[in-house]
Amino acid sequence: MKFATYLCHDYNKSVCYVKLCIKIVKSSSFRTFFYNLFCLLVVVATWEGRCTSQIMGYTGITYSSPTLASAISNLVPAFTFILAIIFRMEKLAFRNWSCRAKVLGTIVSVGGAFIVTLYKGPKIVLSSPSSSHAASLHNSASVLASQSNWALGGLFLTAEYILVPMWYIVQTQIMKEYPAEVIVVCFYNLCVSIMAAVVGVFTEPDTSKWRIRLDIALASIICSGIFGSGLNNTIHTWALRLKGPVFVAMFKPLSIAIAVAMGVAFLGDTLYLGSILGATVIVLGFYTVMWGKAKEEMDEEECNEYSNLESSATDKKSPLLQNYRK
């Protein structure tokens, strides 16, 4: 892997950090955050773990192939669901249809993602000659990568996609204690910038490689910092606070189907039967989980309303009972 990846990672996080620092200073909860030192330490440790998982992912792709990375990444919803049950963020009650729908939808979505990744089938829409040539070069590079260090790359990728669900769990708990997405994301970018800079110093001691030139690299760093590290992470953190880790993790298989559609529409990629079947299965599983989550929320609201009615009725009857006993 080119060690310039760490430098780019450092620069785009720094771009977002400068932008979000302005928001921190203007925030009314700025002082409150620093009074809670424990929360700050948890935030730093969590985001450092997220940065470590990203570095492991880059290293794993280098040693193996993008195909293996996509296949292992499909297990993120399953790992997240298991960890959410262990940490009691999700309820496992097979008597309820909502729980059955979530379990079944997760399994179906993971299966659909594997279909898209590992099964092609006959061609439905042919690609352009230029994209076919690029795809052949990409496939040959993947084959060369797969012939060497496949096991080591798989180990790195497995470690990454075990850390990601753990990050979802801890991040959800952080947002419950301190619901300020922008400030938390700002500290994330600060921690990742520091960590990427330290790694970059050891892996790329040549200072000439750290220079930013006025070309497409600068534009990619700025766009990645604003839209990727800033907007994407803020929305991600906001969704974790509102809906929990399982809801966010379920979009991982759906992103594969979206990537296939975007590649066919804008890049002229070849559309295979396996992509259509897998995308259909992913969408079915995704909406099954969403139905289960919605049904669970409706049941909880009904239970809360029923308990409130019972408590109010008990409060009204208690004086009469006390007078009767007297």
In this prediction, residue 208 carries a pLDDT of: 75
Cβ atoms of 166 and 53 within 8 Å: the answer is no
**Residue ranges, the chain, pLDDT below 70:** 1-51, 67, 126-148, 310-326
In the chain, how many H helices and how many E strands? 14, 2
Secondary structure class of 144 (helix, strand, coil): helix
In this prediction, residue 1 carries a pLDDT of: 45
Cβ atoms of 18 and 225 within 8 Å: the answer is no
Q: How many Cβ atoms sit within 10 Å of the Cβ of residue 257?
A: 22
Secondary structure class of 271 (helix, strand, coil): strand
When divided into structural domains, the chain yields a total of: 1
In this prediction, residue 146 carries a pLDDT of: 44
Distance CA 221, CA 226 (A): 9
Tokens of 301: 């609201």
Structural domain boundaries, residue 198: 4-325
In this prediction, residue 195 carries a pLDDT of: 73
pLDDT tens sequence across 3-39: 444 444 444 444 454 445 545 445 545 545 554 545 5
In this prediction, residue 318 carries a pLDDT of: 53
In this prediction, residue 326 carries a pLDDT of: 47
In this prediction, residue 126 carries a pLDDT of: 66
Q: Which residues make Cβ contacts (< 8 Å) with residue 297, sequence separation at least 6?
A: none
In this prediction, residue 46 carries a pLDDT of: 56
In this prediction, residue 10 carries a pLDDT of: 46
Residue (of 178, 182, 171, 174) closest to 19 by Cα position = 182
Cβ atoms of 282 and 113 within 8 Å: the answer is yes
In this prediction, residue 197 carries a pLDDT of: 76
In this prediction, residue 314 carries a pLDDT of: 64
CA geometry: angle 180, 183, 185, nearest 5 deg: 100
Cα distances from 303 to residues 86, 111, 242, 298, 306, in angstroms, run 24, 34, 20, 9, 5
Across 276-303, b (16+ Cβ under 10 Å) vs e yields bebbebbbebbbbbbebbebbeeeeeee
